[in-house]
């Protein structure tokens, strides 16, 4: 269920499934884009997080609430220089990853390749329109970690 959505702000119910990547076969899949991401957390809790994300050419302030398959997400575009300044001033550790957008049938998977201390970790996510939505699993998917809090980005930051 998507709520208000425009170029600057996004309020929605995020429904996603998350999997580890089992092998390199994803590299032969149809990649329709990629971007570099840096993200830091101002608040991390078991059922909420407040994140600053900086991409190649924009930045976002995001609040996530809830647990499990469906969570509320409030996202606001902010000036990139201000995002970088907040991260630097607060001396926040950052996750660094390359996100690939992989087309599989009608689905677009977001596959994150982590860098730095998390080098070697690959996680694929698929956003769904409802919790019961069917989707084809690519052959490069491994174990599902949707319900494992260890694979939330807000918790992965502890491993830096």
Q: 129-144: per-residue pLDDT in tens? A: 999 999 999 999 999 9
To the query of whether residue 151 is one of the catalytic residues in this protein, the response is no
Pairing of strands 70-78, 95-104: unpaired
Query: How many domains, in total, are found in the chain?
Result: 1
Domain span including residue 106: 2-159
Q: Is the pLDDT of residue 2 over 60?
A: no
Overall pTM > 0.85: yes
8 A C-beta contact, residue 125 and residue 14: no
pLDDT score of 6: 47
Residue 108 CA to residue 53 CA, distance in Å, equals 21
Instruction: Spot the catalytic one: 41, 76, 100, 134.
Output: 41
Residue 121 CA to residue 151 CA, distance in Å, equals 10
Residue 61 CA to residue 54 CA, distance in Å, equals 9
Q: What is the CATH number of the domain that holds 143?
A: 2.40.320.10
Residue-wise pLDDT tens digits, 108-121: 999 999 999 999 99
Buried b (16+ CB within 10 A) or exposed e, 101-119: ebebeeeebebbbbbeebe
């Amino acid at each position: 269920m998507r709520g208000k959505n425009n170029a600057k702000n996004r309020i929605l119910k995020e429904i996603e499934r998350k999997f580890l990547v089992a092998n390199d076969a994803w590299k032969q899949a149809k990649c329709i884009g990629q971007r570099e991401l840096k993200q830091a957390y101002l608040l991390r809790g078991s059922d909420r997080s407040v994140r600053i994300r900086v991409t190649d050419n924009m930045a976002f302030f995001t609040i996530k609430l809830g647990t499990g398959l469906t969570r509320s997400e409030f996202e606001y575009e902010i000036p990139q220089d201000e995002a970088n300044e907040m991260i630097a001033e607060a001396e926040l550790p950052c996750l660094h990853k390359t996100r690939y957008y992989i087309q599989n049938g009608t689905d677009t998977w977001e596959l994150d390749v982590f860098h730095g201390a998390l080098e070697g970790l690959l996680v694929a996510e698929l956003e769904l329109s409802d919790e019961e939505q069917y989707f084809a699993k690519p052959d490069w998917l491994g174990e599902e970690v949707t319900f494992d809090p260890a694979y939330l980005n807000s918790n992965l930051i502890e491993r830096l």
